[in-house]
Structures are given as C-alpha cells and as structure tokens.
Amino acid sequence: MNNANAKDVIKLKFLAVSAVLAAVTRNTTNGGHSPYQLDQLTEAERMSVITIGIEQLEVGMYVLEIAEQRAGTVHIKTRGRVTSQATIDELKRKGITRLVIETDVESNSTVSGQGLPANQYLETTVPLEDELARAEKLYHQGLKIQENLYKAIQDGTPFDDYVPKEFSTSLVGSLDRNPDALLLMTKIREKDSYLLEHSLNVGILLANFARFLELDEQEIEQLAYSGLLHDLGKIKIDDAILHKPGRLTVEEMEEMKKHVNYGVEFLHQMKIDSSLIKWVSEHHERLDGLGYPAQLTADQITRQGRMLAIVDMYDALTADRCYKPGMSSQKALQILLKDSKNKLDPSLLQQFIRCMGIYPVGSLVELSNNKVALVIKQNDKQPLKPHVRVFYSTAGNHYLTPKEVNLATDDRVKIDKAVVASDYNIDINRFFNESVLS
C-alpha cells in the first residue's frame, strides 16, 4: 500500500516473527542479514529450529521467519503460532515457499513469554518488471475462466466456484505485490472480447479500489470475485442487442435489463455467498431509484453495490468495442461526475478518482514535445507528473525506441493532454507486446 495506514489494509490472521534467524535460513530473495547469530543460540535452541516448505505448514506450528519466497520482499512483523488454515492460505497467496519454524516453543527462551500484538500484516514490494510476466499469465488465465463460466451458463451446466474464487485471491495477491502490473494488463483490449475482458477488468479495478479504501483482505477478495461474476447473465442476451452500435429500442432495453436477473439466478445455482449475489444484483441500481432491475433507492443499495456500479461504468466507457473506440479516462470520469449528482455515490466516486489518479496507469498522454507516452507509474506527490514511457512521435507519425521519463524530475517536457490509441491509429496491443511485456 502507498500510505501510512497500510498495516490496517493487509491484515493477516496469523502470528509470526520478523528477522530472527536469517543466518541459518535460505533467504535468497532480499539478501538481508539478521542481527541474531547462530553462535548466540544454545544447542537446544538450534535443534528446535527447522526450515520447512509451505506445503508442510500446519495449524498450530510456531513461525519464526520467512526463509524463501517467489518474488518481492515480504516481512512478517511478529512471531507466533499459526491459528487457522486461512493463515496458511494467505502465506501461499503472498508467494511464500519456505519458512523457519520453532518446534519446541515451551522450552525455548528465545520465543517464550513474548507478548503478541493484535494486528499482524505483511509488507510486499515487487518491482513492476518482476510482476508483469506473472500478471500477464494471470490475466490470460482469467479470460479462460470467464470463457468457461459463460459456457456453463449457455449450456445450463453446473460450475464449481472453487476455480474462479481462488483466481480472485490470486488477483488480489498480484495487486498487493505491484498493482501497476495488472492495471497495465487492463489496457490490452481485443474488440471482439469485450464481454470477457470487461468482467475481468472490473474485478481488477474493483479490488484495487477496495485496497485504496483500506478494506479488509477478505472483503477485497470478495469484491474482486463479484467483479468477475457481475455480467455473467449477458451471455443469454441476443448478440444483435448486446453489440448493437446505436441506441437500443425500448423493447431491446427491456431485454438487456434481464441480464442482471439471469446472472443472479446462475449465481444462486452456484451457491455463491448471498451477500456477494446482492452486490452483483445492484450494479445497475442508481441512487435516484431509476436503475434496474429492482429500482432500489439510495438507502437500499449496499456500499459494495455502489462501488461496483462506479467501476462497471468506468470500464465500459473506456473499453474499445467492435463498433467504437473507448474514451479517455478523463472523459469517462467527467461523465461519472455528472451522474454522481443523483445516480452514483458522490463520496465513493471522489475516492475512485483519487484511486485511479489524474492520469491512470496504462493511459496514454500527449507530451509538449509532440510525443505520445504510456503512463507506467503514478507520482503520488505530483499527480500531474507521472512516470511515463515515451514511444510514439505525433510529428512523424511513427514509433520511437521506448524511453522512460519521470516527469517530476524532467522540466523539459510536460503533459499536454490525455489521448487514446485511436487518435493516432496506434496499435497499442503491439506496443504492449513488444515494448512492455517482452
């Protein structure tokens, strides 16, 4: 997380310890050194400390330290006993593969008698380049899961929710390690894959929004899951209506509205948690009571349903369709602000705008030197001056060798305006594949 309250955001349900025995573990990730040395331990203490794989970790074991992880730098803030399977699941999701445990807690003076704080958390930091490959693989996996879900509805076959639910947990794990990687992936659009991409992107953006709001980890994962599931009912809508480029007729709009109930019905068959189904059912409800399908008013719509409504609209407006290109983030947010007076939650929308930033990660900007750049990282202290990757000349209408520029430290150039790829016939997917993901 990017603020001082991060420890309240990434809460863990376990007790563990930081930096006790790095000298006797295989901490190959961060290369850190512990102030504790092997010769400071008694023979009994040394014999009671072992390193195990994450698959061997069981409820009741006493964890001292992370010995190995797949990527990034994860710090466990206090030592203690694993009290639930949820703890182990959280460690796995964070990419931890080996841990140091204490097998004789009662007799070991180094761990007995310690007071343990109530709130524990992990700090995870991974450079963008380290997370991108994993995020790309995760994104394509998500598209396949979406495809299977839609097929299940179409065929009327049952679908075990274990796979998409676990996938939602993985999405949040990637956002925890480096949110910019998956946020960049949401900008790779295939015009004929809108239905699949939209639900996946809503899951990613909604989870990122929930992280920004510092919701607890379980709710963040549930919101990611609700995003993935929110539009499943659209598979039952005729393609002629679903992909119609112009305004729908009254009859067509009434048919389109049915997708919410179609989806809810399927989620009940999947035996999804009832609160999550309620959030999904509310993503087209509006505060003024003019939404659908139930015409709920402000006091009847959950906070999560309001969040889902905002993110759903935002992604729909910025997405490329088979019949029209998506609009810039700035233009989309202006439309949402207009609707916030009586349709969308104004307070949550302001928070969402702060979460996304003035120039969201993955958006395109035109610079004062007639070049186009991709925003790759926010600058929290100077939001008008993000980190960008320059890659296209508007003067010569040709691609450039990509170059990264921190606009906060380079006074020679500034952002003139936000643009979209279609403004200059830029093949943004080609650029991503050749210069971002490669």
Same domain, 101 and 132: no
Q: What is the largest CA-CA distance in the chain?
A: 81
Q: Can you say whether residue 397 is alpha, beta or left, with left for phi > 0 and alpha for psi between -120 and 50 degrees?
A: left
The CA-to-CA distance between both ends of the chain, in Å, stands at 27
Say which CATH number the domain at 289 has.
1.10.3210.10
Same domain, 217 and 186: yes
Same domain, 201 and 248: yes
Helix (H, G, I), strand (E, B) or coil at 296: coil
In a domain? residue 1: no
Same domain, 348 and 226: yes
Strands 11-12 and 73-76, by their bridges, are unpaired
In a domain? residue 341: yes
In a domain? residue 102: yes
Average confidence (pLDDT) per 10 residues, the chain, 438 residues: 38 29 31 36 60 87 78 55 77 81 56 34 70 94 94 85 90 92 91 87 98 92 97 94 92 97 93 96 97 97 98 95 86 91 94 95 96 94 95 95 95 95 92 84
Q: Which long-range contacts (CB under 8 A, 24 or more apart) does 33-38 make?
A: 34/65
Same domain, 333 and 398: no
Q: How many CB atoms lie within 10 A of CB 391?
A: 21
Domain-ending residue, one of 125, 142, 171: 125
Whether the Cβ atoms of residue 203 and residue 280 lie closer than 8 Å to each other = no
Residue written as token pair 């290109």: 325
- Closest Cα to residue 139, out of 71, 196, 72, 95? 196
Same domain, 208 and 101: no
Distance CA 337, CA 176 (A): 28
Question: Which residues neighbour 278 within 8 Å (Cβ) at sequence distance 6 or greater?
Answer: 302, 305
In a domain? residue 112: yes
Q: Output the pTM of the full model.
A: 0.75
Same domain, 312 and 409: no
Domain-ending residue, one of 91, 125, 159: 125
Distance CA 190, CA 230 (A): 20
- Closest Cα to residue 77, out of 5, 13, 2, 15? 15
Distance CA 184, CA 181 (A): 5
Same domain, 171 and 71: no
Same domain, 178 and 258: yes
Same domain, 343 and 204: yes
- Give the per-residue pLDDT at 124: 57
Q: Can you say whether residue 127 is alpha, beta or left, with left for phi > 0 and alpha for psi between -120 and 50 degrees?
A: beta
- Give the per-residue pLDDT at 11: 32
In a domain? residue 378: yes
Q: Which domain holds residue 32?
A: 6-125
Q: How many domains does the chain have?
A: 3
- Give the per-residue pLDDT at 224: 97
Distance CA 95, CA 26 (A): 15
Same domain, 377 and 306: no
Whether the Cβ atoms of residue 92 and residue 57 lie closer than 8 Å to each other = no
In a domain? residue 63: yes
Domain-ending residue, one of 313, 330, 356: 356
Same domain, 343 and 244: yes
Whether the Cβ atoms of residue 295 and residue 289 lie closer than 8 Å to each other = yes
DSSP 8-state code for residue 305: H
- Give the per-residue pLDDT at 107: 39
